[in-house]
Structure 1
Amino acid sequence: MNSFDGQTQAFVNWLVDEAKIKISDKVEVQDLRAQGQGRALVAVQDILKDEVLFEIPRECLLNAKTSSLVKDHPELKVNLEQELGHWEGLILCILYEKLVKKESSHWFPYFSILPEAEEINSLMYWNDEQLENLKPSLVLTRIGKEAAKNMFDSIAIFITTHGLRDEISPLSWDLFVHVASIIMSYSFDVELPEKQSNDQEDGQDENEEYENECIARDGYMKSMVPLADILNSNTNRCNAHLTYSSTTLKMFAIADIPKNGQIFNIYGDHPNAEILRRYGYVEWGGSKFDFAEVRLQNVADIICNKFNITETKFEKLIKIFQENVTINELLEDESIILESYDCYNDGTILPEIIILLQILCTFLSMDLVEKYVDDEIIESQLERVTKKCTQLISGGRITSMVCDLWKQIVCAREKEYPSHASREQVIQLNQYLNTDGLRNNMASEVLRNEFQCLQKCEDSIKNEFTIIDDQKLLNNVLKRKSTNEQNSMPEKRQKI
């Protein structure tokens, strides 16, 4: 047997003999590298919906409660759970297994099948040239290197503070990133068994007991779950689901699975860009949950050009939306000012952008920014417009200008994408052998998926609302204003 096959067989033997995982005779771990997928779980017989594929005892999970670290250093158990977050805690536990326990670790056969750093394609491993191929996707703003550095520092401090430096050493950045990437790709947030009443002291609320985020305060624990993480994820082909009981985790079939069919889980409602960032792969043909993002700056550019106002004045209005108490009450404390607005592959767009555009269109059509220099007057009028616009939208109506401006905003965002984002691409299987070629193809797929989402959202707003003339809404707003002014100036009313 070659190394890959040998490691697979040793892992499967460990699952049954050491981890005591009950595995159905109808499934098998297979090598799908020829399809660019690595190890996967495949049906070797027809499987019916609701059949149990495997059952995992909780004690074979690797987390902050089961690791060798807390067994070898029981005095650290409380510190580990109360001082560190889920990520930091699990990273530290895996580091201890790899650097201290090594081949004697209970999970060594499991670690042997996890990918090496050079096999991982999550965005933390992409170089600057490769990341350049993802522009203008906003996934580039969420890679998280700064947060990772802070996490690295907190773990290093914990190691030093609690006397682990001689054992967990050296803690290199590369090793940290490798372990963190493994956790990102393979871990589960496992629900904890229901706590007994005596776990609570004097009825104290656990959420108030700990000031900072930590393992002890939550009802779940980030864990490595051997075998469950062998399943590849596919948002369009998911046919299995992991459930929790007080003693075990069970993977059920949620659909009939034919012989030779692959068994898929799902990692979450993620678009391809986020799947790539987190897990280092994409779903060719697109994720079921793909979306693109229109930036607030795109909105600013189109609005400023349409109404001939400066960006400073636009920012002034945005600040009012963020700080005005009355407006926030009218919006039910749901902020409509976001850094970006999602545009989904089914044509759905966020309601926040519709509300924002309707208010801005109506308010700026009244020329109030130029007419009034008094901030209080501007805020008062903006409150009035917000009330009218929210009433209009809740009634399923918007004005035609909102539709026109939204299309301009989306088209402006589309122009930021490279020309190849609008074209179909053919993926050759042999390109998986080349890291640069694979990452280039994955970047192209992400951009293509996002561009398609933008296209589908250009005119979709018209299908969701009844379109009315802008002047009709404007007259409604100005009518109340005119009446109030007349009531405050009786002499003018007498002249009419």
Structure 2
Amino acid sequence: MAESFQHAGHSDFDQTSAQFIKWFTEADGTRWSSKVQLQDLRNENAGRGAVATAEIAEDEELFAVPRSLVLTTTTSNVPPTAIQPLEETGTWPPLIVTIIYEYLKKDDSPWHAYFKVLPTTFDTLMFWNSAELAELQASAVVQKIGRQQAEESWRETIIPVMLAHPDQFPVPGATPVERTVELIKLAHMAGSLIMAYAFDIDRDDTRTNNDDNDDNDDDNSSGDNFEEDDEDEPFKGMVPFADMLNADADRNNARLFQESDYLIMRATRPISTGEQIFNDYGPLPRSDLLRMYGYITDNYSQYDVVEISHDLLVDVAGKKHNQENKAWLKREEQLDELGLVDDGYVVHRPEPNAQRLDDVLPGQLHMLLRALCTHDNDARAIKKPKDAITIEEAALLQAVLTKRLTEYSTSYEADQAICEALQSDSPSTVVPLSCHHRRYLMAVQVRMGEKEILRQWITLCQFHIKQKSEEMASGSSKRKYDATTGFQSKQAAKKEKHR
């Protein structure tokens, strides 16, 4: 996996890899294709990775991991008294405790060789200092980190359990306060391992080739506080070897499948000799890639997004003073009842060939724009818009996007210059104090991507307004409608009906 931590020297790295492979192949029930080799890809900034040593056919098995080797709360011999108090806390806290338990056992843990190839330090946003996080500027990802919330939750749940079993969780410290500090550090490590490496494991015994991608679903969008409360959520498990695969949005060629007794990695297309074997995280924006995995790649830029807050939309529309906008409050309540009001709305990167605002504007956001632009108590504002986006709606969206762009403290052009300098022969001259070079570069690249999206959308709004204005001026539009509200007048409708 593309790893975001500092490795040991070359000989130690190779020795650790060899020990892991020996442990894996000698474990009961494991299968490993001779066509797959674990290689040192640090020169490609990719840590360890799996490479094909011979031609691999589509659907061919690459390796198989028996469920007994997957690290979960049930395969570990972690004391039940350390897990039972956490049964109502979701799937993450018990697994965090389990990982800490096995990690502290060192050589006595069945997974010791596995832990030696996993990181203990990370470049994920949870570990950035305040100066580094500030370089993300107005990116909404900063609000998803949740470090303080995570630690507060741990102090109420997993820390008391581990403090109550000092022999099972031996950490330095003469007092509970000192041991708590150490356990919090370990909890961050374990939680980050789950975030970056864990897979979803079916709860029941009806497992038939269900796709089981890495833990990167929307359940992480609420923050990195490592809390999952859905009782239908699959178990989380650490799957040895499966997490050694790097990920690529365009070149992914393998996927993990679940069977009754095994988790099996299979090729999803033919793989050539010498080709790296890739898993896929799914359509993750680079901001979430950085938040969850601690690195970014250019080929995930196609999934970049910008989040527009509900408050910003209301503010720019002039509806902020609620008492003066009772009609809007009523419409907002109706929209909320329909499940159309959120704290924020995601704006995706337009497709390269996108030329029309109508093709990229999500229906939910269009309905909100229509409601904000509708005057008085027009009930049509809460219905799904059937008309094209009006000039007023496009103008409001443009104003919102423009204001959102101003929330970033540097321009796109300034960021371009910074990136060029950071990748020059003397990058240290532009790195701010208290910032690590690599983290600073990734922050600039993430915020550049978001600014680029905003600029693209603003251009689409401008083109839409220009086009609609020209249509109105020339009278080329067959349907007569109010340019302000977008609704066809009754008089125009009658005339059109009798034509």
TM-score bracket for the superposition, by shorter chain length = 0.7 to 0.9
Q: Post-superposition shift, 1:184?
A: 1.1
Residue in 1 aligned with 2:398?
407
Q: Post-superposition shift, 1:415?
A: 2.9
Q: Post-superposition shift, 1:27?
A: 1.2
Which of 323, 343, 350 is the equivalent residue of 2:348?
343
Q: Greater CA deviation, 291-300 or 468-477?
A: 468-477
Q: Is the 8 A contact 2:391 2:483 kept in 1?
A: no
- Is residue 373 of structure 2 the alignment partner of residue 361 of structure 1? yes
Q: Greater CA deviation, 448-457 or 425-434?
A: 425-434
Q: Is the 8 A contact 2:314 2:372 kept in 1?
A: no
Q: Measured at CA, do residues 458 and 470 of structure 1 come closer, stay the same or move farther in structure 2, by a change above 3 Å?
A: farther
Q: Which amino acid aligns with 1:175?
A: L
Length-normalised TM-score, structure 1:
0.76
5 Å-filtered alignment, 1:169-180, equals: 169=170, 170-171=179-180, 172=182, 173-180=184-191
Q: Secondary structure at the match of 2:149?
A: helix
Q: Measured at CA, do residues 340 and 314 of structure 1 come closer, stay the same or move farther in structure 2, by a change above 3 Å?
A: farther
Residue in 1 aligned with 2:287?
273
State how far apart, in whole Å, the 2-side matches of 1:469 and 1:409 are: 28
1:226-246 deviation line (CA, Å, top 9, x unaligned): 100011122222211111011
Report the aligned-residue RMSD.
Answer: 3.3
Residue in 2 aligned with 1:260?
274
Q: Measured at CA, do residues 474 and 9 of structure 1 come closer, stay the same or move farther in structure 2, by a change above 3 Å?
A: closer
Q: Which amino acid aligns with 2:65?
A: I
5 Å-filtered alignment, 1:215-254, equals: 217-218=231-232, 220-254=234-268
Q: Which amino acid aligns with 1:131?
A: L
Q: Post-superposition shift, 1:30?
A: 0.7
Q: Is the 8 A contact 1:234 1:265 kept in 2?
A: yes
Q: Secondary structure at the match of 2:152?
A: helix
List alignment gaps of at least 5 residues for structure 1. 197-212, 369-380, 481-496
Residue in 2 aligned with 1:419?
411
State how far apart, in whole Å, the 2-side matches of 1:429 and 1:50 are: 43
Q: Which amino acid aligns with 1:146?
A: Q
Q: Is the 8 A contact 1:183 1:224 kept in 2?
A: yes
Q: Measured at CA, do residues 19 and 110 of structure 1 come closer, stay the same or move farther in structure 2, by a change above 3 Å?
A: farther
State how far apart, in whole Å, the 2-side matches of 1:449 and 1:23 are: 40
Q: Post-superposition shift, 1:362?
A: 2.1
Q: Measured at CA, do residues 236 and 195 of structure 1 come closer, stay the same or move farther in structure 2, by a change above 3 Å?
A: closer
State how far apart, in whole Å, the 2-side matches of 1:318 and 1:40 are: 55
Q: Secondary structure at the match of 1:255?
A: coil
State how far apart, in whole Å, the 2-side matches of 1:82 and 1:361 are: 48
Which of 112, 115, 126 is the equivalent residue of 1:124?
126
State how far apart, in whole Å, the 2-side matches of 1:249 and 1:419 are: 47
Residue in 1 aligned with 2:333?
323
Q: Which amino acid aligns with 1:50?
A: D
Q: Secondary structure at the match of 1:258?
A: coil
Q: Secondary structure at the match of 2:301?
A: coil
5 Å-filtered alignment, 1:27-426, equals: 27-69=36-78, 73-74=79-80, 79=84, 82-99=87-104, 101-117=105-121, 120-153=122-155, 154-160=157-163, 163-169=164-170, 170-171=179-180, 172=182, 173-194=184-205, 217-218=231-232, 220-304=234-318, 311-312=321-322, 319-324=329-334, 327=335, 333-346=338-351, 348-363=360-375, 368=376, 381-382=377-378, 384-387=379-382, 390-391=383-384, 393=385, 395-417=386-408, 418-420=410-412, 423=416, 425=419
Q: Measured at CA, do residues 475 and 271 of structure 1 come closer, stay the same or move farther in structure 2, by a change above 3 Å?
A: closer
Q: Which amino acid aligns with 2:112?
A: F
Q: Post-superposition shift, 1:75?
A: 6.0
Which structure has the larger Rg over C-alpha atoms? 1
State how far apart, in whole Å, the 1-side matches of 2:232 and 2:21 are: 32
Q: Measured at CA, do residues 80 and 455 of structure 1 come closer, stay the same or move farther in structure 2, by a change above 3 Å?
A: same
Q: Post-superposition shift, 1:93?
A: 0.5
State how far apart, in whole Å, the 2-side matches of 1:288 and 1:194 are: 37
Q: Which amino acid aligns with 1:423?
A: Q
Length-normalised TM-score, structure 2:
0.76
State how far apart, in whole Å, the 2-side matches of 1:38 and 1:194 are: 35
Q: Post-superposition shift, 1:123?
A: 0.4
Return the structure number with greater helix share: 1
Q: Post-superposition shift, 1:343?
A: 3.0
Q: Measured at CA, do residues 32 and 469 of structure 1 come closer, stay the same or move farther in structure 2, by a change above 3 Å?
A: farther
State how far apart, in whole Å, the 2-side matches of 1:183 and 1:194 are: 23
1:101-145 deviation line (CA, Å, top 9, x unaligned): 22110000000111122xx10001100111111011010111011
Q: Post-superposition shift, 1:167?
A: 2.3
5 Å-filtered alignment, 1:473-488, equals: 474=485
State how far apart, in whole Å, the 1-side matches of 2:138 and 2:28 are: 46
State how far apart, in whole Å, the 2-side matches of 1:268 and 1:194 are: 26
Q: Measured at CA, do residues 280 and 216 of structure 1 come closer, stay the same or move farther in structure 2, by a change above 3 Å?
A: closer
Residue in 2 aligned with 1:494?
none
Percent identity between the aligned chains? 29
Q: Measured at CA, do residues 80 and 358 of structure 1 come closer, stay the same or move farther in structure 2, by a change above 3 Å?
A: same
State how far apart, in whole Å, the 1-side matches of 2:324 and 2:425 are: 51
State how far apart, in whole Å, the 1-side matches of 2:61 and 2:324 are: 57
Q: Which amino acid aligns with 2:193?
A: I
1:38-94 deviation line (CA, Å, top 9, x unaligned): 11111122222221111111110001110120xxx35666x1673332110111001
State how far apart, in whole Å, the 1-side matches of 2:13 and 2:425 are: 19
Q: Post-superposition shift, 1:449?
A: 1.7
Q: Is the 8 A contact 2:391 2:484 kept in 1?
A: no
State how far apart, in whole Å, the 1-side matches of 2:490 and 2:123 are: 60
List alignment gaps of at least 5 residues for structure 2. 1-9, 171-178, 208-226, 355-359, 469-478, 492-499
Q: Which amino acid aligns with 1:350?
A: P
